[in-house]
Structure 1
Amino acid sequence: MARVVHFEIHAENPERAARFYRDVLGWEFTKWEGPMPYWLVKTGPDSEPGINGGLLRRQGTVDGKAVIAYVCTAQVPTLDDHLRKAEVAGGTVVLPKMPIPGVGWLAYCKDTEGNIFGMMQPDHPEDRSDRAHKPTSLN
């Protein structure tokens, strides 16, 4: 079974996208010193479950098209506060807050670059790291 170990955000304006995610989710961005413009994204302490990612300049446009990438969802302590932060930072709510019974509250937003991402507030914040990474089987 393969696990997701990295994500990438493609952006027309990477600096603007970094500012958006820093303001909304508190992520840290570090410019990579490699052969192409690329930023490393740290989403939280290495001692907690989760993955880190990257940010790069989008090659081409997707205006008016459906989602053509994975939608990543970030776990947040208070969804309403983070939805406000997303709007203040220049994003838009594209799927309003809705309940997911037995799990929590989910909403989808569009960032300043047109990417859709999710934010989830768990029903029980005290055990959110266990909940978010508890394996389930479809068999």
Structure 2
Amino acid sequence: MPRVVHFEIPADDPERAIEFYKNAFGWEIEKWEGPFDYWLVKTGEEDEPGIDGAIMKKEMDEKLTNVIAVESFQEFFEKIEKSGGKMLTDKMYIPGIGITASFEDTEGNVLSIIEPEIME
């Protein structure tokens, strides 16, 4: 069945967004060598579950929502705020799924973090 295999994060200030994601999640981000400004984002190793994506200059009022799995909800709650993000919802426990909440990054994008009950 079709799966999400890439994400794009639109940013008013791509350099600021790059710093946020590097600091908050330790992602590796490199400028693409193509004909327009586009930064490739590596979120983990290829043999780990998950997807990679990109950061790009925001052209319109684009928004993105994706869920980011973390090992410790509290640790990343603090990292997000320390890196310039803002938590938008209270921590919520979903039975059988884990602990989750939404946040806004430095570019106004709304995403979520989740501490799954079982990390694979």
* TM-score, scaled relative to structure 2: 0.95
For 2:6 and 2:61, the matched residues in 1 are separated by: 23
For 1:96 and 1:10, the matched residues in 2 are separated by: 25
Counterpart pick for 1:86 among 71, 80, 85: 80
1:25 CA displacement: 1.1
- 3-state SS of the aligned residue for 2:2? coil
Q: What stretches of structure 1 of length at least 5 have no aligned partner? A: 63-67, 130-139
Tell me which amino acid in the other structure corresponds to 1:13.
Answer: D
Q: Which runs of 4+ in 1 moved over 6 A?
A: none
Number of aligned residue pairs:
120
For 2:28 and 2:81, the matched residues in 1 are separated by: 20
Larger gyration radius, structure 1 or structure 2: 1
- Structure having greater relative contact order (Cα 8 Å, sep ≥ 6): 2
1:97 CA displacement: 1.1
For 1:51 and 1:120, the matched residues in 2 are separated by: 15
Describe how 1:1-139 pairs up with structure 2 within 5 A.
Answer: 1-61=1-61, 68-69=63-64, 71-124=65-118, 128-129=119-120
* TM-score, scaled relative to structure 1: 0.82
- 3-state SS of the aligned residue for 1:95? coil
Q: What stretches of structure 2 of length at least 5 have no aligned partner? A: none
Tell me which amino acid in the other structure corresponds to 1:43.
Answer: T
- 3-state SS of the aligned residue for 1:17? helix
Indicate the RMSD between aligned Cα atoms, in angstroms.
1.2
